[in-house]
A and B are shown apart, each in its own frame.
Chain A
Amino acid sequence: MAGGAAAGLMTSIIDDVWKGSGIDGTGGALLVIVSSALILAASVLLVVARPLPRPFGIVIGTLLLFGIAGTGFAGYMLESDVLAGFMAFALIGWCVHLAPGTRPAARDVPRAAGAIG
């Protein structure tokens, strides 16, 4: 997910500055730079701050889904196929993130805390 977001961010920046992109300097290009950066930040947060409290994890996960889908759709509307592709890659990462064994169960959090105590 973070890889897709990072690649998406790079693509968006190139689209914004490269005249041949057809969307250089536009509001749409700026929008996907910001959204890709936020997806990247949230993805990194999921990794470095794990395990997250369950409600926080749900909120971040939901926002990530909307962010990835929205950025992918924006990429489609901007006719930036590469960006849309990377968002599809990020979406796969998001699905993998949900899969059992790839993230700590929320219920593990208090148990772990208790173990420390």
Chain B
Amino acid sequence: MNPRVMPLPAALAGLMAAAAQAQTPARPAAQTWPTFNGDLEARKYSTEAEITPANVSGLKVAWEMHTGDVSDGSGQLPATVWSATPLFVNDTLYLSTPFYRIFALEPDTGKVKWIYDTHSKKEALTQPDLKTRGAAYWQAANPVEGQACQKIVYIGTMDAALHAVDADTGKPCSGFGQNGVLNVNQWNSMSATWPLSVLQPPTVYKDTLFIGWAGKDWALAQAPAGSVFAVDARTGALKWTFNALPPEVAPRTGTANVWASMSIDPENNLLFLPVSSPSPNYYGGDRKEALPLVTAVVALNPDTGAVVWSRQLVHHDLWDYDTNSAPVLVDIQRGGKTVPALVQSTKQGFIYVLNRLTGEPIYPIEETPVPRSDVAGEQSAPTQPETTTPVPTVASEWPGVSTIADIASFGYCSREANRLRNDGRFTPPSLQGTLTYPATAGGVEWGGGAVDPATGTYVVNSSSVVEIYRLLTRRDYDAKTMDGTPKGYYPMSGAPYGFHLNTFVNWLGMPCWNPPYGTLSSYDLNTGKLLWKEPFGEVQKWGFYMPLSWGSVTIGAPVITRSGLIFIGASMDSRVRAIDRRSGEVLWSARVDAPAVSMPAVYRYKGKEYVAFAVGGNTILEPKVSDQMIAYALPGQIGAR
């Protein structure tokens, strides 16, 4: 049979399906976790309330399973970074793995229903590690019984493919792309450089997938220009493309892509993009034009891709301060009125609270004079947009030299601190080396914060990391890398400077700056006030746990439940925790196999509430990886097995 000729019953069914409005619920059913951030507004909020501060100490492992998709990088495969948030929808837990497979699991036992293998290359084409942050899900509003691909699970790959799979069977949806695979790289403006890696699951709204991509940072001045593709959820047909960079700058810069998740305001029909920084990341002498859509938050019309408003969060970015998490959408109360707000966390530690309809600040943003560059050819911005309400997650001054680390290194830390350029926040990269705080590692990373819409409480984890940024003339860079590229050197080929980056540690690997290294903070968005801020997690060195007051560098994000709990992994001590939203007190914790750098999913199935973590590790935090998927529940609840 000619596959292009559709039998009549199937054609009728298809018409019926097309007529039915497709959807990812704006307000997900209480028991589901259908998107990366739990809902389209990226609130990371669960309405579940069976697990409470009073009973959370009784939480037990409901089930665990291992996908087998893990590599520590010691063999032929690159290491895996598994940051996938599981989805719970269609009575199934969907999970993507860093070997680019989808697992469909029974939500109450972890038993495998089906596995789909993309057979993608297990090569670190753009990222240093094999990486995935999850799958995406779409379904027709009224799925036609017996017809395939009325419910679809999507997985992206490092080699720029987006696979569409029937959510019930795990079979490819042949109507999507070519036999179920969409080649995203067909829209790569510079396909010879590297592929447009689809590591973050697409955002799904109505019948459309919004696809961002990740590239290879710090390698090239000239790189694919930042773009977001809107495609038909059923067919993969391109609807529109958003470009953050004007075409005339393409020969000199690129990226400014959207590699993190996006959010949607269904009521006002707005799509929000966190747009990253342009290449080359640490030198902007060849991209002096005002590029207002880069390192910015941008609101689009999801039907057309037209820009509704934008707000740049870093002018002429020289620090790789990508806008790196989905804006969180919540209505807050100001002066007796309900204000539609957008909360954008950042690597810089600023928390920008904007009116999501206009982009205007709800709490003041001031253009503050900042240190200027002393590098030949550079023209750094004279001011940067800073906000003090809510109080930033990291201080404006760096934390100072750690006495212990300084003594242990015979004064290395203080000597270096005195030698490096440090004129405060936004000190540009320099040839002598710049002590950079906060650094590209954050502040707040890609998970962003979570919000309780009922109280306006916003909770966010943040790191306190000091890095040393140093530009090298091309001649110096070439001399340093003549016999291969040592760790920490990045070419920025095409720019007049290469780049060296290292974390400010002594010879023992001890941070040269004072703790805490990571915190968890809670804010009242209605007033902008900090409610509490606590060191979060524990630093572990050679297995030894450092004092609680030191906290831990964090990657991942919290989830808030209606009952007043915060669930979070994110720390480098391989623990998952439940925290009292009101006080910040840790009420429960459990050890897992590696740092759980994904955000958890909270769902209910057969009357029982589960909290599920993908435990993948992250080589930035610890040389520890895992393939453990683990779910916790209270014993003896309704629906218990």
Contact = CB atoms under 8 A, between A and B. Distances in A.
A8 to B, nearest CB: 15
Contacts of B628: 19
B346 interface: no
A89 B285 CA distance: 67
A28 B542 contact: yes
Interface string B522-545: 000000000000000000101111
A81 interface: no
A26 B544 CA distance: 9
Nearest to B542: A27
B404 to A, nearest CB: 15
A96 interface: no
Contacts of A27: 542-543
A104 interface: no
B69 interface: no
A78 B543 contact: yes
Contacts of B542: 26-28, 31
Interface string B572-611: 0111000000000000000111000000000000000000
Contacts of A47: none
Q: How large is the interface on B (under 10, 10 to 19, 20 to 34, 35 or more residues)?
A: 10 to 19
A22 B540 CA distance: 10
Contacts of B593: 19-20
B37 interface: no
A20 B575 CA distance: 10
A79 to B, nearest CB: 5
B132 interface: no
Q: Which of B543, B575, B591, B593 has the most CB of A within 10 A?
A: B543
A22 B573 contact: yes
A78 B543 CA distance: 6
B543 A23 contact: yes
A74 interface: yes
Contact of A77 (B544, B592, B626): B544
Closest 3 CB pairs of A and B: A28-B543, A26-B543, A27-B542
9 contacts: A19-B593, A20-B593, A22-B540, A26-B540, A26-B543, A27-B543, A74-B544, A77-B545, A78-B543
Contacts of A78: 543-545
B65 to A, nearest CB: 14
B446 to A, nearest CB: 25
A20 B591 contact: yes
A74 B593 CA distance: 21
A29 B543 contact: yes
A27 B541 CA distance: 9
A79 B545 contact: yes
Interface in A1-26: 19-23, 26
Nearest to A15: B543
Q: Which of B540, B575, B628 has the most CB of A within 10 A?
A: B540
Contacts of A21: 591
Given A20-B591, A20-B593, A28 B544 contact: yes
B573 A19 contact: no
Nearest to A20: B591
Contacts of A20: 591-593
A23 B574 CA distance: 9
Nearest to A19: B593
A84 to B, nearest CB: 13
A16 to B, nearest CB: 9
Contacts of B626: 19
Contacts of A19: 593, 626, 628
Interface in A58-75: 74
Contact of B574 (A22, A28, A29, A77): A22
Contacts of A26: 540, 542-543
Contacts of A31: 542
B615 to A, nearest CB: 10
B548 to A, nearest CB: 11
A26 B592 CA distance: 15
A22 B544 contact: no
A91 B41 CA distance: 57
